[in-house]
Structure 1
Amino acid sequence: MNTTSRAQRPRRLPPEERERTIVEGAVALAREQGLEALTVRAVAARVGVTPALVAHYRPVMDEFVADVFGEIVAAERDEVLGDVEVTGDLRENLQRLIETLLDDSRDDAAIVWAQSWSLGARNEALGRRVRAEMDLWQSGLEDVIRRASHGTVDPEPAAWLLLALVDGMSAHSLVKWAPRDRSELARRTLSAVLA
């Protein structure tokens, strides 16, 4: 009786399912360790396949990193802006939105954003995707401001200022340099933006 054990090979999946598994593994890895952790070997180890299989499905790593970034931030944008109910006071609507974005539970997305700005300077595919996602955030926030303000606030500059606030405070929090009460700072800044 032969008791020699062989390493189990990954289960054969249809191509679409295999690719989705690879992307989901890369997204989970990036959420845990950031975009810098995305290598062919690291993704393969995460998914339990060979590096050659990852390279087969995603042959250009710069584009793959851009796609993973896009998956993460699009999901966040859809969740946050999709939950905005424009009711009542503009300030209350925006305060809720900003507090949601500044919540500590979103540090995984904050790290991905911070790294994307740095890595996107040398990875053109990522840089293009970052610019596109930033435009989508800006236009989405501009739309919220427009609907909630009923013409009392110029939505374009207000959206840019609020995004700068969120981006800056999120980056600061990653290195544990932030005001003790980020919500209070956000309220005061929001008042200044809407004045």
Structure 2
Amino acid sequence: MKTTSRAAAPRRLPPEERERSIVDAAVSLAGESGLEALTVRAVAARVGVTPALVAHYRPVMESFVAEVFTTIVAAERDEVIASYDPSVDLRTNLLRLIETLLDDSRDDVAMVWVQSWALGARNEALGARVRTEMDLWHSALEDLIARAIAEDPVLRENPLQVDPDSSAWMLLAMVDGMSAHSLVHWVPRDRADLARRTLSAVLDVPVVEPVQPAETLR
């Protein structure tokens, strides 16, 4: 008697669990291959369900990509900011933070960020999330720097020496640039040394004295 075999049907899950499995699969896929790899078919294959089921839970792929992006980068931000140690000085904290973000083990998140800037130009849902996450990173760094200034008597007596707002912007620009460069293996010989030099440039800005008017020539 001839028999035929069928592929096993996906196990039926409660809606909440199925939705979670789809999101988790998309996050995993983006971490491995970037945001560009997120398609209905690719996510469905990762979960082991039909594309129609993925589309049922996430009918607008552009919004789903934005959601996955936020999940990945927000988790990293929360982790890195939580590592701030109030028992050590500002320079040490910021250097640790920079070295953590530039570690090769985080190239997957760097890829997500780099692709988000390009894809966000045409995907407005993603572009809006990118802007929000960049603002949150800036605010978090600005808050850490301002808090350190308030707690350090030397910095507190010279508030013009370190500006939390511009310092946060410069540090983020350096990290973003170096992370993007590392994806194509174009990096300085010693990224840690460059990080220290940049940090010194940011934190050791001399106080600008008002310019005295030149004496009138007679």
Q: TM-score, normalized by length of structure 1?
A: 0.97
1:155 is matched with which residue: 159, 164, 180? 164
Residues 60-95 of structure 1 deviation map (CA, whole Å, 9 limit, x = unaligned): 000000000000001100111111112222111100
Matching residue's letter, 2:95: Q
SS of the equivalent of 2:13 reads coil
RMSD of the alignment, in Å? 1.1
Q: Counterpart of 1:81? A: 81
**Percent identity over the alignment?**
75
Query: For residues 131 and 71 of structure 1, what CA distance do their matches in structure 2 show?
Result: 14
SS of the equivalent of 1:87 reads coil
Query: For residues 81 and 3 of structure 1, what CA distance do their matches in structure 2 show?
Result: 59
In structure 1, list runs of 5 or more residues that go unmatched: none
The question of 1:59 aligning with 2:59 is answered yes
Q: How far 1:149 moved relative to its partner?
A: 2.3
Matches within 5 A, 1:1-195: 3-150=3-150, 151=156, 152=159, 153-195=162-204
Q: Counterpart of 2:209? A: none
Q: How far 1:168 moved relative to its partner?
A: 0.4
Q: How far 1:102 moved relative to its partner?
A: 0.4
* Residues 87, 148 of structure 1: 8 Å contact kept: no
Q: Matched residue pairs, number?
A: 195
Residues 107-155 of structure 1 deviation map (CA, whole Å, 9 limit, x = unaligned): 0000000000000000000000000000111101111111122244211
In structure 2, list runs of 5 or more residues that go unmatched: 151-155, 205-218
Structure holding more helix per residue: 1
